[in-house]
Amino acid sequence: MEKIRIDDAKSYMGPADVKRPLTKELGTENVALNYYELAPGDSFAFGYHAHEDQEEVFYVQSGTVTFETADDPVAVGAGEAVRVAPGEFQRGVNEGDERVVALAVGAPRDAGETEVRRHCEDCGERTPNDIEMTEDRDALVTRCVDCGAVTGRFD
């Protein structure tokens, strides 16, 4: 049995105030597990995205997350959970005033191809984006695949 303290896991740069990937720490073979804390305005994800091979379950422990989906937005409050199918586009954002604490479980562990879409000012529409580390390694940026413009910076 592997046991960890979530607070001991390193927090990663990104669109969430706190993102602690627990997959390696626990040595999971078949699922990916991430612990999140979202300040108001934060998101789980760099953009509206889909994982080709992986289904995801989000459990919200406190606060409320609003998921953009292909249909209407879905608000998920404390004590609720949602399942996202492989290939289904979504992005969860903390649109409330309260801090969000949530767990995300993905299976299989490796998500396969992940397509991220963000609004690009230069293209004037939502476009596919890549995520890359800055040269100084002090932030991650999202970059429009169509025109090369940086669409977001996360540190």
Residues that bind Zn ion (CB under 5 A): 120, 122-123, 144, 146-147, 149
Q: 56 with 49: CB under 8 angstroms?
A: no
In the complex, the smallest distance separating the C-beta of residue 27 from Zn ion, rounded to whole angstroms, is 40
Encode burial over 84-108: b for 16+ CB neighbours within 10 A, e otherwise. bebeebbbbbbebeeebbbbbbbbe
In the complex, the smallest distance separating the C-beta of residue 131 from Zn ion, rounded to whole angstroms, is 15
**C-beta closer to Zn ion: residue 125 or 138:** 125
**C-beta closer to Zn ion: residue 103 or 123:** 123
In the complex, the smallest distance separating the C-beta of residue 14 from Zn ion, rounded to whole angstroms, is 21
**C-beta closer to Zn ion: residue 99 or 119:** 119
In the complex, the smallest distance separating the C-beta of residue 41 from Zn ion, rounded to whole angstroms, is 23
**C-beta closer to Zn ion: residue 4 or 147:** 147
Give yes or no for a cis peptide into 108 (omega within 30° of 0): yes
What are the C-alpha distances in Å from 64 to residues 77, 81, 116?
A: 4, 11, 23
